[in-house]
Structure formats: C-alpha cells, structure tokens
C-alpha cells in the first residue's frame, strides 16, 4: 500500500493564487459580504452560505486545494465557521467545512487552535481503558489477569456505568466502541480491494489514512515493527532483549500446550524444541495443511478470536488465520543487530530514491512512509530510533543537494577517447588522481565485517590559495564522498537543472569516507595538535581515509558472489562538505552507540522526556532534594532590589543595623515537602505566614588580598523579579525552562545562574551547550566580566577562534595559560622566598614550592597568629597587627599603607586577606603540579577537561561529535545549561544529557536549565516533508512547552523602542519594557531624516514585474531590492554609520540580489560603504542592529512569512528603526500576520522622509519635524532623489573623484510631493534648478572621464544558485563572490 502511494507521480508544486485572482473569485465576493475582517458592516450569519460554499466551491471542485486555500486565506474559519458554530446549526457540510479549513492550516504549517486541553479531553474518552469493553470476554479476562491493578479500575468503571441513566450510558458505549468499529470498517474496506486489476484510489487513500491515524507513524513496515515493539503493553516499561526472548518462548510453549491437548494432528509441533519451530517457514509448513476451522479453533484457544459454535464454519479466510498465528509466534529479528549492520553513509541507491527521500516540495497532501516526532514516545529506544531514521534521511537529502551542486559545476563530459573529462570546476570537489585501499583489518569476534578499512586518496590541488587552504584544512573525522561518474554526454553539452541529474552526469556510485589525516612527504599521517603543520611542496596531496566497514563488506560480497565490478577501483571525484553541515555521520554513530548502551537518564527526567506523567514533576518546587539556603552572591544590587524581586514575600533580615544591609545575601526559603504542607518537628502544621517569609542574611566576602585585582568583579545588572525567579529556579535541582522573548536578557540570566552555581557548589561542574558559536562567544564574554577564576573555564570545539578577546579558552589555549600561570606563580614564590631571606632554590617546581609553603610560610604565619590573637578576652594593640606581620617586604609592591591602623578587627581582616593571597598561590601550584608530570599537550588538555575545569562550554554539534571521546575520558558534570534551546534539534538537545557514564546505575545530573524562545524560528530542516510531515523541526524545548512543563517567562525587554516592541509583544504572555527603553536619550530621539520610527512601505511592480523566480524557490524582487538600497544610501548620506544598518530579507534569492545591487551602486564608495549585514531573517536570529531595512519579496503569495515565528524574528531585530518594503495588499489580508500588520498599515504606506535633517537629530521621537517633509511615491522616485542628493553633496564638497551609477530607469517622471500639512511654494522649482545644476556637473565629469555611466537595465544576471526557502550555507563573508 505504501508502495502504491509512493510510486504515484511526484507532487506538483501548488501555485498559490495571486492577489488579482483572489479579488476576482466568487469566494472573495462572498467574504466581502459576510466575514472579511476589513469590511466594516457585514451581513448577519446565514447557514445557507455555508451549504452553498461547501457544495459549489469545495465538493464541485473535488476538494481542490486552490479553492480551499482561498477560503482559508479569507479567514472563513476564524470569522464565520468557528464563531457561529453550535450543535443546533451543525450539519455535514458545516463539519466538513471546518475539517477542510483546519486541514489546510495544518498543511500550511499554521497553528489552527489553542484549546489543546479541550481536544485532549475529548480524544481521551475514545482511547482510554473503557474501550476494552469491545474485547471478547475471554480475551478481556486474560488481559486483566496479567495486570491485577487494571482489574480494580475496570470494576470502578462498571460501578460508574451502573449509576448512569440509559441515554448517557448508550452515548458512552458508542464512544468506547468508536475505535473497534473503525477497525472493522477498515478491514471491510480492505477486503473489497482486489489483489490485481483496476482499483479505487479512494479506498486506497482511506486505508492509508486509517493506518496513519492508528500509528501516527510509517505505514506497513512500521505497523509490523510496532506490534512487536519492546514494551510492556500495560505498564509502559521498556523490555530488555532477555525479557523479549522470554515472552517469545512463553507464547510458543503455550501454543505447543494447546496443540498437545486438543489437536492430535499437531503432535510433531507440540513435542519439538522451540528453535526448530519458531521460524516463519517452519510455522507455515506445520500449520499450512490445517483447515480454516482448525486454525480458528487454535486461535480461539489463545484468546485471539471468539470460539466457534458447534457445527459453525469460520467466516475468516485461511490466509488471514494462518498469518494471525505465524506473525504472533515467529522469532523476531533484533532491531539493534539490524542497526549495527547498517552502513551509515548513504549510497547512490538511497540518495536518489524518491520513495525513501522525498523531493524538496511536499504539498502537505497524502501519506508518507516516514516516522513522526510528536509529543510522546514509547520508550527511549523508540525515541532514539525515530530520531535516528529521520536524521539519516534529512542528512541524505542535504548530501543529495551538495553532490548535485558540486558534480554539475565540474561538468563531467565524455572525452573523444572514451574517458571522462571535466569541463568546469567546483570549490567543494576535485578529480581523483589515484585511489588505493591500504588496509582491511580482521573482523572482531562475532562480527562478519572488517574492524576497519583504510584507503589513500590523491588529488591535485592546482587551485586558488584560499581554496587550497580549505582542502589542506580538512580535519580528522571530516566526512567526504567518493563518486564515480561515467558521462555519456559529449564535450560541451549544457547541463539543465530541470532534467534528472543522475542520467545527465552519468553518476554510477557514491560512497562515504572519513578523513584520518593528510600524509606528509614520508607517507605518515600528519597528527593534529598545537604544533604548526609542515608545509608540503607541490600541488599533489594524499589523504588517508576510513571507509565504512559494513558497506565494504556488502560491496565485496556482491563482487565475489555476483561478479559485480569492484566499486573501489572506479572513483574519479572526491567531494567535501561545509564543516557546519557535515556532522551527520558522527551524530548517527552517537545515536547508535546510545542504543547499544543502557541509556541512563535521571529518574526525575525520564517520563518527561517520553512525554508522560506529571509535566511539572521536575520543577524545583516538587523535587525532594530542594535546597533551603542559597547564596545569591552578587545577584542583588541592594536590599531594596532584593525586596522588589520577591513580591508577595515578607523579607526578614537577620541583622537589624540598616548599614549592614548590603549584598552579598544568603536567602533561606520556606520549603514545602514534596507534597502538601510542611510539618514542624512536633508534628504541628506550620503557620501559613512562614511559607511566605524569606530569611535574608547579609555576609561579607573575606578579604582576598591588598592588590586592586584581588577585588571580586561584581554584577551590575538590576534583574527584574521574573529574571530573579529564573535564577532561583536554575540554582535549585530539577528542570528549569526559561522562555526569553527578544531583548529580555536571556544571556545575562544564564551567566548569573552559572556564576551562582560556581560559588554555591564549588565541587560541581557545569556544562554549557549552545546552538551556535556566536551565542557561546557572547556567554563567555559576559562570564569573564564576573567573579569566576578563569583557570576554571574551558571551551571545546572549533569556535574559539572567533572569541573577541585576547584570551584563548580552547583546550590547548588553556594548557598554555596554565603553563604560563605556573611560571608566573613560581616567580611570585621566588619573590616571597627572597623577602623572607630563605636560602636555596624553592621556586623551581610546584613540588619544591609546596614544601617551602609547609615549612617556611605556614610556620611564620602560625607564629604571627599566636602573637596577635586575643588572649584572655583582652584585645592586643592595633600596632601589633602591623609590627609582627612577617610578609611586609613581600607586599611592598601593594598600595601602601597595607594596614590602616584604625581598628584591630579591620587590620586583622587585612592580614588574613594577605595570607589568603599567599595561600591561593600555593593552592594553584598544587593543582598545576600534574602538568609537571604530564608531558604531552594531549595528556595535559585531557587532565584539564576531566579535573581542572569547572565550567565547560561547547556547541550541541560538538557534544554529538565527541560523545564517545568524552565518555571514554571519564568526563563528569552535574549541571547543564542550554542557551538557544528552541533552535536545537530534538536529538541534539538529548545527547548532552548523556556525555558521562552513570555512577552505580544512576545519572549524577542534578540540574538542567533550558533557555530559549519557541515563538522564534525552530531548527532549520531543509526538506519540507521532514519539516512538516515528520515534525522534525520541533525542538525538545518546544515539545516540553506543548506537553505543559512549567516555564519562567521573562517579561521585560530592553532592546527596542516601546513602539517597535508592540509589533511583536502580542505573541508573548505580557511582555513589557524595561524603564531605560523610555528614559535613555537614544530611545527618546527621533530617527533623523524619517518622519516615523517604523513604517511599512508599499512597493508596486517595477517595469511590470513583482516577484520573480530564476531558479526554483530562489525568489527575487528587483523593485524592492533597489528601494531598500536607495533608502540605505539615503541614510548614509544623512550621516548614519553604515555598520548600524542591516538589510534583511525573507529569501535567499533576494539576499543575493540586494548584495548585487549594493556592489553596483555603492559598495566601493567611501562616502556610503556597505551595511553591517545583508542576510536572511533566518540567519539573523539571535542578532540585532539599530536600524533594519526589511524586504518581504513576495507579491503573488505570502509564502513562508505565514509562519508567525519568522514574523516575530523579523519584527524584533531592530532597536531604533524598522522600515519594511512589501506588497501591502498581499500581506494585510493574512490572518496570522494581522496583529503586526494592523499596526503597520495604520501609518501611511508611502515613505515619509525629512531630507534636510542630519544624523543625529535633536528632535524627540513622535515630534513634528521643523524641516520639510517629503512623501516618496515609488522606488524610481526615491532612487532619483538619492542620486540628486548625492550629486549635490559632491558638488558642495567638491569631491569630483567619487562617482555613482544613475538611478534605475523611471516609469514616470518623479514629482516631490509635500504632505497635506506642509504646502511650500516654489519647492518644485528649487528642486528642478538643483537637478539642472547637478546635471551640468555630471556632464562636465563625464567629459573629464571621471564618471562611467552604466546601463542599469542590463541588471547583472544572478549567479546560478540552488537557493531554498530556508537560508542555506551563508557562512561566507557578506560581499562574497559566488563559486
């Protein structure tokens, strides 16, 4: 059945109707009368309208997607169907109309409703225990006997049923039998489908949809797999391999007992040993000869079918009865064994198989044979398996794109002599000079594939230096692909991207390999490490690579047994991939390893990860090991700040003197027991007053020494009370989820949690995981500003090169830091030795320094303490503290005087601080002593990771890549903090929980803090089928929110002006503004040269063209691109710094077009320059800039901006100014975008500028400008205006050298329009005179040869680029040149 669906024609792209088509439709005319949101007075509700629309528009068009799209887009569901629904007016047409609209929303990936609990409650009635009433009585008894606990519930259900009245009982019975009746209907439809001959596709689709509903999973193969899944059907516990074997033996032996007792014809079977009869073939051979009635009787003895009455014949076919017995009793193949024998690299057979990896376009219609990720999973094995399969397919899809791109760029053609000749070149692929397999190791015991297979690949790098560096920079574990092409096309044939790729290029084989390293001149692998790599001569480079042993074994078997050619003698291309996108093999290997080991997830997390139980059970308030007293260190700036942070609590300070009420504070919280109220020792219940009382104890951080750098660094941020709640939750054990809308200080909260954990639990280690290196860098820069000793910080992965600091936090960087620090400290020991007059060389090693501390320093300190301590209640003289102090000479370089001489207590604290300073030197040296014993950089870096570092940071990708190495090293950690967790794939979020071996069968993980924002964009999944159908883009963070795990929602933003925040704050629970957004001058000042701080600017067609699509999904809009660049140039001419402006767009094609226009118009012009970034909204998530110019590109259909998460990201990137260029008539009709677009369209849709106002301006935001306001009607007018403005500036400053391209060809003569408020006479005349003057200057410059005029209509053709909706591979610099 799956094959039937899959082999049908590939899905066509559904073309959305254009605005003009929408307006011409009957549906639109109806909408304008009855439910359109922009119509002020609509007609009252009429049921006949719904009936008409259903019969004439939906049924008559055979449920055409285009009609349903129109209806859904017109807000038919929200404004007519849903709001007017009641049981009284319900009808088939009404219900089917609602179903069609809801399905269309799901197809478009738009949320259909919020009432999830209501739906859950309704569905639960259909699928909970009462539905067992549909079981036959003996089977019911059999199941209840197996699980006695369920019998109690069953009796309770029967008791409740007895109390119901007749009508309610019948309704309940109907609901309970709903599923069993549905199954019977399915079987009856299935039976009517003939095995051969013509079939009704409606019936096939019904059966497909039924199985999809039952399983929410793949189709037939998966049905088979999940019926025998390793789980206890009643308790939900996962079953081990041994338990599964026991169940299998029990089933077979019970069948043998039944056969022995009642069926003499089965004696042979009854007396055989299990292994002889439990294969499919053996069972079919034994039971095949029996009649249908006998088979039915056997099945009824096993409670699988109701018993036959005397003399009655079975109604079931023999084939069905035989399959029922065989499938239940045959031996199952271990899923893990199959998985372990599977090659991890995709081959050409899988990569181009549309049934396995669907095309990029998935319409949302029809079933696919793919696993799904939803809210719940059966067991951790099920969870990992679904993720394994999906991740494998998604990465295969990306590999297909990369191979097609690189190989077609190389243009393989058939040479005159029958060989291959390459007519082009590719950055990511090279022709292979030679390939040899150099090692095939023996298999491990019990396996039939080699332990490892290695080969050498030689290529000739006669390419540009930067590309040569990239090839030479291939690291260990990087994955490459070996490709064989045998083209049949003669030299010079053009490649057509729309034709099938494999036939055109003659691609025959694809095999994956993993780099071990490049070989040096002596043929040895160049090892990675801190040492510089040797420079090799010439252009030939050889790489040693690992091949996949499973694949190699399969290929060799095929060659030997079937005489097939040896694949490994044919390769002629090697392709590499971008490192960021190339982690699939390591990740699949990691998931496979996890499935082979006992996954130990902390008990308090296990059920939540699978989606069961109480979703709030891991919240700190329900954890049994909640901590009563916590030191908040420098979190609070004052006692008032503390009181404001805990509204609703009484704050009791332990000291009365207000002078001492200064941070740091320790807070003791009232703790409820896991359940109910707290009881006192004597058993009496506690006063409810006490449950709202905080006991606050100010404490003084002990003096750390007399030097200025000894003073601890302090937090300076005044956290809000929700931020404090997030920090408090993060310090307590359990799961903490923080939802951080844009600009709410997520990173500051994260850093404060890390700092507080570091100080409260010095023996614990915290792992930081983020999605991107950029987020890790931001975290690290803020961590360094707090009181954390940098020797405890470590950064793993390859992103540390980008850290904007002098310090290197990578493994080798930290090793070098420790070695340098050791020498520095030993010099200090030498200075101390000299100051004390001790002979000898004690500062030679950490060991000698340790002896010196013990015998020389400690003895002097103890002697000093005995002289100055309080004796017999009498304080010594203040001067004694200073005069007896033994280390005066050593501290001579500290700010003097060291001792103040005011009071004994103060001076003693200073003396102890000095000693703490000295003691810390020796403590650190003791820690560094291992570095004197460990000689290699690798050993030292491992020691750092396992012993020294307390805060270890990495990206989720690095965690997945290196899991095995970390576990083998004995890496340990107690806390995990994840930033950007709503952007991390489900499986990449899960793996960091398991980077350590369990201790005595338990995980030592105590806290898991996830910080993210599920209202912004999810992880990038390029294939639409995996993204929409399999829900692969759902992050674990989003799933937890959907399941109902409690979250702390940060509710005050400090990034953007309040007016800009209103464009997206409707998406969040009550997102307000921090006070400084209203108070700081930068937020109060207007945007110079603009009337408004944000504006939506309508852009009509330019030269009759709106959006265009030069390649599939590569959308461009030249009118918007020119308009955006003209406004950017205008801003720069007014004095705005170019790096404070970013240009964003929603499509890759437009990004390339805008970069193109900038290169032509102003890129190399020093008066204007380039914007900070030109990129897509998706790429810019997590970043911000003062001014954002946004191009929405589309003019025919809204496209993927309908995803509200993308809208939220787009609206929230700007701090001070946002200017959006779009086709307003298209976007204002879209229901999902209404909250933002209703605010945008409330302002004029033509750009209002104030060209005589320079940046920065003194004008307040919202104030009328004293200068002239111009209204710009269209793009050519703006372009012309900027051109004239620029020429005017050149003339006035006499910079004759600069030149500028003339503006795009005008459609109409521009006219400068004043607003209604300002009617200024003679302005047009002045402009004309200016323009004439500038034209004269222009003509002179052209005569002098200083200005080249380029014909703009010849807009440079865009480079061919397989662009996608979601931004792909934008890691190159902004002014990149295309490959």
Q: Average the pLDDT over 11-20 and give the result.
A: 55
Closest-CA residue to 988 (of 1356, 1290, 588, 693): 588
Q: Average the pLDDT over 206-219 and give the result.
A: 68
pLDDT of residue 1236: 92
pLDDT digits (tens, 9 = 90+) for 623-665: 999 999 999 988 999 999 999 999 989 999 999 888 888 889 9
Q: Average the pLDDT over 996-1020 and give the result.
A: 89
**Residue percentage of the chain with pLDDT more than 90:** 35
Half-sphere exposure of 321 (CA within 13 A, CB side): 22
pLDDT of residue 1212: 94
Closest-CA residue to 1126 (of 1257, 1304, 1250, 1252): 1304
Other beta carbons within 10 angstroms of residue 589's beta carbon come to 17
Q: Is the backbone peptide bond immediately before 897 cis, with ω within 30 degrees of 0?
A: yes
DSSP annotation of 624: T
Residue 154's φ and ψ, nearest 5 degrees, are -65, -45
Chain-centroid distance of CA 781 in Å reads: 22
| 967, pLDDT greater than 60 | yes
Whether 899 and 882 have beta carbons less than 8 Å apart is answered as yes
Q: Average the pLDDT over 775-802 and give the result.
A: 79
Whether 739 and 723 have beta carbons less than 8 Å apart is answered as no
pLDDT of residue 242: 81
| 5, pLDDT greater than 60 | no
Q: Give the neighbor-by-neighbor strand order of the sheet with 1313-1314.
A: 1247-1249, 1270-1272, 1313-1314
Higher pLDDT pick, 194 / 1093: 1093
Residue 1168 Cα distances to 279, 429, 1129, angstroms: 78, 38, 6
Residue 566 Cα distances to 365, 559, 837, angstroms: 42, 6, 79
Residue 859: is it exposed, middle or buried by C-beta count within 10 angstroms (0-12/13-18/19+)?
exposed
Closest-CA residue to 752 (of 645, 609, 671, 658): 645
Token pair recorded at residue 842: 């004690």
Whether 1207 and 1176 have beta carbons less than 8 Å apart is answered as no
With b for 16 or more beta-carbon neighbours within 10 A and e for fewer, the 241-266 pattern comes to: eeebeeebeebbeebbebbeeebeeb
Least confident of 133-142, 620-629, 676-685, 823-832: 676-685
pLDDT digits (tens, 9 = 90+) for 518-541: 998 888 888 876 667 788 888 999
The span from the CA of 225 to the CA of 228, in Å, is 6
Write the DSSP string, 397-418.
Answer: HHHHHHHHHHHHHH-EEE-TTS
Residue 203's φ and ψ, nearest 5 degrees, are -65, -40
| 1300, pLDDT greater than 70 | no
Whether 382 and 215 have beta carbons less than 8 Å apart is answered as no
Whether 545 and 574 have beta carbons less than 8 Å apart is answered as no
pLDDT of residue 962: 85
Whether 1096 and 1132 have beta carbons less than 8 Å apart is answered as no
Neighbouring residues of 624: CB distance < 8 A, sequence distance ≥ 6: 674
| 676, pLDDT greater than 50 | no
pLDDT of residue 9: 42
pLDDT of residue 1219: 96
Residue 160 Cα distances to 155, 163, 867, angstroms: 9, 5, 84
| E strand or H helix that includes residue 736 | strand 734-739
Least confident of 6-20, 243-257, 1140-1154, 1182-1196: 6-20
Write the DSSP string, 989-1010.
Answer: HHGGGGSSPPBTTB----EEEE
Where does the pLDDT of residue 1375 fall: very low under 50, low under 70, confident under 90, or very high at 90 and above?
A: very low
| pTM of this structure | 0.81
The span from the CA of 796 to the CA of 811, in Å, is 7
Token pair recorded at residue 188: 């009856």
Least confident of 168-177, 686-695, 809-818, 1181-1190: 686-695
pLDDT of residue 1359: 38
Where does the pLDDT of residue 260 fall: very low under 50, low under 70, confident under 90, or very high at 90 and above?
A: confident
Residue 1113's φ and ψ, nearest 5 degrees, are 65, 10
The span from the CA of 459 to the CA of 543, in Å, is 9
| 8, pLDDT greater than 50 | no
pLDDT digits (tens, 9 = 90+) for 20-58: 555 557 787 888 888 887 777 888 888 889 998 999 888
| 753, pLDDT greater than 90 | yes
The span from the CA of 1079 to the CA of 1087, in Å, is 16
Closest-CA residue to 589 (of 1032, 967, 961): 961
pLDDT of residue 107: 74
The span from the CA of 329 to the CA of 274, in Å, is 10
**Residue percentage of the chain with pLDDT more than 70:** 87
pLDDT of residue 1374: 38
Q: Average the pLDDT over 692-699 and give the result.
A: 91
Other beta carbons within 10 angstroms of residue 625's beta carbon come to 11
Closest-CA residue to 178 (of 141, 118, 130, 137): 130
pLDDT digits (tens, 9 = 90+) for 832-854: 999 999 888 888 899 999 999 99
Residue 129's φ and ψ, nearest 5 degrees, are -50, -40
| 595, pLDDT greater than 80 | yes
pLDDT digits (tens, 9 = 90+) for 387-416: 888 888 888 989 999 999 999 999 999 988
Chain-centroid distance of CA 418 in Å reads: 48
pLDDT of residue 234: 66
Write the DSSP string, 93-104.
Answer: HHHHHHHHHHHH
- Average pLDDT of every residue of the chain: 83
Higher pLDDT pick, 208 / 884: 884
Token pair recorded at residue 1132: 């720069």
DSSP annotation of 1035: B
The span from the CA of 1109 to the CA of 16, in Å, is 14
**280-284, 1095-1099, 1322-1326: range with highest mean pLDDT:** 1095-1099
pLDDT of residue 1187: 96
Runs of H (alpha helix) within 681-799: 721-731, 746-760, 773-783
pLDDT of residue 16: 58
Whether 126 and 178 have beta carbons less than 8 Å apart is answered as yes
Closest-CA residue to 511 (of 439, 457, 468, 450): 457
| 678, pLDDT greater than 80 | no
pLDDT of residue 402: 92
Q: Average the pLDDT over 171-194 and give the result.
A: 86
Residue 767's φ and ψ, nearest 5 degrees, are -105, 130
């Amino acid at each position: 059945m799956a094959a039937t669906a899959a082999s049908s024609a590939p899905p066509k792209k559904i073309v959305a109707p254009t605005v003009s088509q929408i307006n011409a439709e009957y549906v639109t005319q109806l909408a304008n009368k009855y439910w359109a949101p922009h119509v002020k007075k609509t007609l009252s509700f009429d049921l006949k309208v719904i009936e008409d629309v259903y019969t004439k528009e939906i049924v008559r068009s055979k449920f055409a997607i285009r009609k349903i799209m129109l209806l859904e887009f017109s807000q038919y569901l929200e404004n007519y169907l849903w709001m007017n629904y009641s049981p009284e007016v319900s009808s088939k047409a009404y219900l089917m109309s609602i179903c069609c609209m809801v399905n269309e929303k799901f197809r478009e990936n738009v949320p259909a409703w919020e009432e999830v609990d209501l739906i859950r409650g309704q569905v639960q009635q259909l699928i909970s225990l009462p539905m067992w009433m549909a079981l036959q009585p003996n089977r019911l008894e059999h199941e209840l006997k197996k699980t006695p606990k369920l019998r109690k519930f069953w009796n309770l259900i029967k008791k409740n049923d007895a109390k119901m009245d007749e009508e309610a009982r019948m309704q309940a019975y109907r609901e309970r039998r709903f599923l069993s009746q549905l199954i019977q209907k399915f079987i009856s439809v299935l039976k009517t489908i003939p095995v051969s001959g013509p079939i009704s596709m409606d019936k096939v689709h019904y059966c497909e949809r039924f199985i999809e509903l039952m399983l929410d999973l793949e189709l037939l193969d998966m049905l088979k797999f999940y019926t025998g899944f390793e789980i206890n059907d009643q308790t939900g516990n996962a079953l081990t391999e041994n338990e599964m074997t026991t169940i299998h033996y029990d089933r077979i032996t019970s069948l043998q007992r039944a056969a022995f007792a009642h069926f003499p014809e089965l004696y042979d079977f009854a007396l055989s040993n299990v292994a002889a009869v439990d294969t499919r073939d053996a069972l079919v051979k034994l039971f095949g000869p029996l009649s249908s009635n006998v088979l039915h009787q056997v099945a009824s003895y096993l409670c699988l079918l109701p018993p036959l009455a005397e003399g009655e014949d079975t109604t079931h076919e023999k084939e069905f009865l035989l399959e029922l017995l065989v499938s239940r009793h045959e031996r199952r193949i271990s899923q893990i064994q199959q998985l372990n024998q599977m090659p991890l690299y995709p081959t050409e057979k899988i990569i181009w198989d549309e049934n396995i990896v669907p095309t990029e376009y998935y319409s949302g219609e029809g079933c696919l044979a793919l696993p799904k990720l939803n809210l719940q999973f059966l067991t951790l094995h099920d969870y990992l398996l679904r993720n394994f399969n999906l991740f494998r397919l998604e990465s295969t899809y990306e590999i297909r794109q990369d191979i097609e791109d690189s190989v077609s760029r190389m243009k393989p053609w058939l040479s005159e002599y029958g060989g291959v000749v390459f007519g082009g070149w590719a950055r990511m692929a090279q022709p292979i000079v030679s390939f040899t397999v150099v090692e095939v190791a023996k298999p491990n015991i019990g396996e039939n594939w080699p332990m490892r297979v290695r080969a050498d690949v030689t290529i000739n790098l006669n390419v540009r230096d930067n590309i040569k560096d990239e090839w030479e920079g291939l690291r260990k574990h990087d994955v490459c692909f070996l490709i064989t092409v045998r083209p049949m096309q003669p030299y010079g044939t053009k490649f057509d991207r729309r034709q099938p790729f494999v036939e055109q290029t003659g691609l025959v084989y694809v095999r994956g390999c993993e780099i071990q390293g490049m070989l040096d001149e002596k043929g040895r692998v160049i090892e990675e490490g801190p040492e510089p790599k040797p420079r090799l001569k010439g252009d030939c480079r050889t790489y040693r690579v690992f091949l996949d042993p499973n694949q190699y074994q399969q290929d060799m078997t095929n060659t030997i047994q079937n005489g097939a050619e040896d694949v490994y003698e044919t390769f002629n291309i090697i392709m590499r991939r971008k490192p960021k996108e190339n982690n699939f093999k390591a990740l699949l290997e990691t998931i496979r390893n996890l499935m082979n080991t006992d996954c130990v997830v902390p008990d308090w997390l296990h059920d939540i990860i699978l989606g069961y139980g109480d979703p709030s059970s891991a919240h700190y308030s329900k954890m049994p090991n909640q901590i009563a007293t916590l030191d908040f260190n420098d979190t609070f700036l004052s006692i008032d700040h503390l009181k404001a942070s805990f509204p609703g609590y009484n704050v009791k300070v332990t000291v009365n003197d207000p002078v001492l009420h200064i941070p740091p504070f320790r807070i003791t919280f009232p703790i409820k027991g896991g359940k109910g109220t707290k009881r006192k020792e004597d058993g009496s219940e506690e006063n409810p007053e006490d449950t709202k009382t905080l006991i606050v104890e100010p404490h003084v951080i002990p003096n750390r020494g007399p030097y200025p750098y000894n003073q601890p660094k302090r937090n300076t941020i005044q956290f809000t009370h929700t931020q404090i709640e997030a920090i408090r939750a993060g310090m307590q054990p359990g799961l903490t989820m923080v939802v951080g809308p844009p600009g709410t200080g997520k990173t500051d909260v994260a850093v404060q949690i890390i700092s507080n954990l570091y100080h409260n639990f010095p023996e614990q280690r915290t792992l930081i995981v983020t999605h991107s290196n950029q987020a890790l860098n931001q975290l690290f820069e803020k961590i360094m500003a707090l009181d954390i000793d940098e020797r405890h910080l470590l950064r793993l992965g390859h992103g540390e090169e980008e850290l904007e600091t002098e310090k290197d936090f990578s493994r080798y960087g930290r090793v070098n830091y420790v070695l340098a620090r050791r020498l520095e400290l030993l010099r200090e020991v030498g200075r101390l030795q000299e100051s004390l007059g001790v002979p000898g060389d004690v500062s030679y090693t950490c060991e000698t320094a340790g002896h010196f501390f013990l015998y020389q320093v400690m003895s002097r300190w103890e002697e000093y303490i005995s002289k100055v301590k309080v004796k017999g209640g009498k304080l010594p003289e203040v001067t004694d503290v200073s005069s007896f102090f033994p280390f005066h000479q050593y501290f001579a370089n500290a700010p003097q005087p060291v001792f103040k001489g005011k009071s004994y207590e103060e001076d003693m604290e200073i003396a102890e601080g000095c000693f703490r300073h000295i003691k810390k030197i020796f403590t650190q040296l003791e820690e560094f002593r291992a570095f004197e014993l460990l000689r290699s950089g690798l050993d030292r870096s491992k020691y750092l990771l396992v012993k020294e570092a307390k805060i270890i940071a990495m990206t989720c990708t690095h965690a997945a890549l290196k899991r095995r190495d970390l576990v083998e090293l004995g890496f340990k950690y107690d806390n995990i903090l994840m930033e950007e967790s709503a952007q991390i794939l489900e499986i990449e979020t899960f793996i960091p929980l398991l980077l350590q071996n369990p201790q005595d069968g338990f995980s030592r993980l105590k806290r898991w803090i996830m910080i993210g924002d599920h209202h912004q964009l999810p992880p990038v999944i390029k294939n639409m089928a995996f993204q929409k159908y399999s829900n692969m883009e759902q992050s674990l963070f989003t799933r937890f929110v959907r399941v109902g795990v409690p979250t702390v929602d940060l509710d005050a933003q400090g990034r953007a002006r309040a007016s800009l925040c209103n464009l997206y704050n409707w998406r969040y629970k009550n997102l307000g503004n921090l006070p400084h957004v209203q108070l700081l001058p930068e937020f109060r000042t207007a945007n110079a040269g603009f009337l408004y701080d944000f504006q939506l600017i309508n852009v009509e067609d330019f030269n009759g063209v709106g959006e265009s699509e030069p390649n599939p999904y590569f959308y461009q809009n030249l009118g918007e691109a020119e308009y955006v660049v003209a406004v950017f140039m205008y801003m720069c001419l007014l004095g705005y710094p170019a790096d404070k402006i970013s240009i964003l767009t929603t499509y890759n094609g437009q990004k390339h077009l805008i970069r193109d226009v900038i290169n032509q118009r102003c890129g190399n012009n020093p008066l204007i320059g380039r914007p900070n970034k030109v990129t897509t909204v998706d790429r810019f998530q997590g970043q911000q800039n003062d001014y954002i110019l946004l191009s929405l590109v589309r003019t025919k259909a809204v496209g993927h901006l309908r995803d509200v998460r993308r809208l939220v990201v787009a609206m929230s990137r700007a701090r001070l100014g946002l200017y959006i260029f779009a086709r307003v008539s298209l976007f204002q009709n879209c229901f999902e975008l209404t909250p933002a677009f209703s605010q945008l369209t409330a302002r004029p849709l033509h750009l209002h500028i104030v060209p005589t106002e320079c940046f920065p301006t003194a004008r307040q935001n919202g104030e009328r400008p004293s200068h002239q306001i111009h209204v710009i009607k269209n793009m050519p007018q703006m372009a012309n205006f900027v051109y004239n403005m620029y020429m005017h500036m050149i003339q006035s400053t006499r910079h004759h050298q600069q030149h500028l391209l003339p503006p795009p060809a005008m459609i109409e003569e521009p006219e400068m329009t004043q607003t209604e408020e300002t009617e200024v006479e003679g302005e047009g005349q002045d402009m004309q005179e200016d323009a004439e003057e500038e034209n004269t200057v222009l003509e002179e410059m052209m005569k002098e040869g200083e200005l080249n005029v380029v014909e703009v209509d010849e807009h440079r053709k865009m480079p061919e680029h397989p662009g996608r909706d979601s931004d792909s591979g934008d890691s190159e610099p902004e002014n990149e040149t295309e490959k």
